[in-house]
Structure 1
Amino acid sequence: ENPYPDIDVSYEWNNGILEAKPLPNYPQIRQYRWFSLLLDCYVQVNPIAKFIDLETGVSMTVLDADEPSGKWEVVYKPDIGVVLNDNPAPWGALELRAFEGVCDMIVEEVSDSTSAEVRRDTEEKKRGYALAGVKEYFILDPADRYMGFYRLTADRRYAQIRPGAGGVIRSQVLPGFQFRRTDLLNLPGLEELALDELYAGYVIPGFHDAVNRAEEEAAARRQAEERAEEAEEQMQALKAELARLRQDRS
């Protein structure tokens, strides 16, 4: 199945069917890179996981009573796969070119060129990832039509992650990894994130406090300068008064 017959595309294997991996547009690339950078910042501070991307295949075989064969066999290439360091499947060695295990988190930038592509991300992959045991599944969408954040339940189904105050999504797979849903649409820069208390713990940690200290020191300098100016004005006023008194006596 290839909706792009004139373009050289990569493929995913879905239960015996080769499916063309959908091609992203520029807004999807921007959003993907922003979220990927956010994850990189988190792991630099909390080195508890490794990532899968760059066309890396993830091979999964899952028991599925709805399939004629009784199982669901796929080789997908998720946009981002998060593999915790304690995941039983090995990942990270130089010789490993594919991941044969279950990611702890998967992030897909929704493919929306056709209704079939949307259904693949929002229904088929969502169901399969849940059966496989992927603990969290995030669907990103710069158009904000299909964006969703899901966490695995005990019966291998996904439940939506309820946002906290201010629309904040918090991961359990990556403790402390949190972001505003609206920021996925606005894509603020790193410096702005580092000054935001929500992100300050893992985006350029210490930058927020350093800026606050610099502002406090600058404010203290301004106050000292203002006091010095006031003292100088008072001194000049006293000198003028003394000069006037001497003149009156003479």
Structure 2
Amino acid sequence: MSTSEITKHTHPLPQNGTAEVADEDQVLLESDDGRYVTETQYWEDVYQSTELTYEWNNGRLEQKPMSDYAQFLLYSWFFDLLKDFLHVNPIARMTGLEIGFRMQLARKTVVRIPDLGIVLNSNIVPLLDKDRSYQGIFDICIESLSDSKQKYIDR
């Protein structure tokens, strides 16, 4: 198979959050954005078992928006910087890969899934090797914010 055959696309690649795909080729995932669920339902039914990623905001599901390549490059640079720093100064553990945590705010409770989380070794709740969610509060949370829709900016 030639390189041109491998890289040939039948549909244009998405740009700026849009793609032109024939109706018969579209696979739509039903979004539960805005649906109300209990925190127990969130942890049991939504957190690990959907194709879309949701955070929980005081009972309401919020779909995590998609990032863009520029955000990935910034994330990658920052990740490498932190990884190298923590290699030389092992004062914390770093996580990503959609590990969520619960946070009690002044007027509500939320579950957030940071793009990058830092837990200092001095944190009273350690980040353990087999954790699929973090039971404490991250010391540092890094989020890539999407500007593809006004509702994501307002979020």
What pairs up with 1:144-159 in 2 under 5 angstroms?
A: none
1:100 corresponds in structure 2 to 135
For 2:132 and 2:138, how far apart are their aligned partners in 1? Answer: 15
One of 35, 41, 55 as aligned partner of 2:84: 41
What is the CA deviation profile of residues 162-181 of structure 1, one whole-angstrom value per residue up to 9, with x for unaligned ones?
xxxxxxxxxxxxxxxxxxxx
One of 125, 136, 139 as aligned partner of 1:89: 125
What pairs up with 1:1-250 in 2 under 5 angstroms?
A: 6-7=28-29, 8-64=51-107, 72-94=108-130, 96-120=131-155
For structure 2, the 5+ residue unaligned runs are 1-26, 30-50
For 2:139 and 2:63, how far apart are their aligned partners in 1? Answer: 24
Percent identity over paired residues: 41
Deviation at 1:32, TM superposition (A): 0.8
Deviation at 1:102, TM superposition (A): 1.5
Matched position secondary structure for 1:109: coil
Deviation at 1:6, TM superposition (A): 2.7
The alignment of Structure 1 onto Structure 2 pairs a total of residues equal to: 108
Task: Verify the 8 A CA contact 1:60 1:100 in the aligned structure 2.
Answer: no
Q: Structure 1-normalised TM-score?
A: 0.41
Structure with larger RCO (C-alpha < 8 A, sep 6+) = 2
For structure 1, the 5+ residue unaligned runs are 65-71, 121-250
Deviation at 1:74, TM superposition (A): 1.2
Q: Which structure: greater helix fraction?
A: 1
What is the CA deviation profile of residues 10-33 of structure 1, one whole-angstrom value per residue up to 9, with x for unaligned ones?
111111011111111111111111
For 2:135 and 2:149, how far apart are their aligned partners in 1? Answer: 29
RMSD after superposition: 1.6
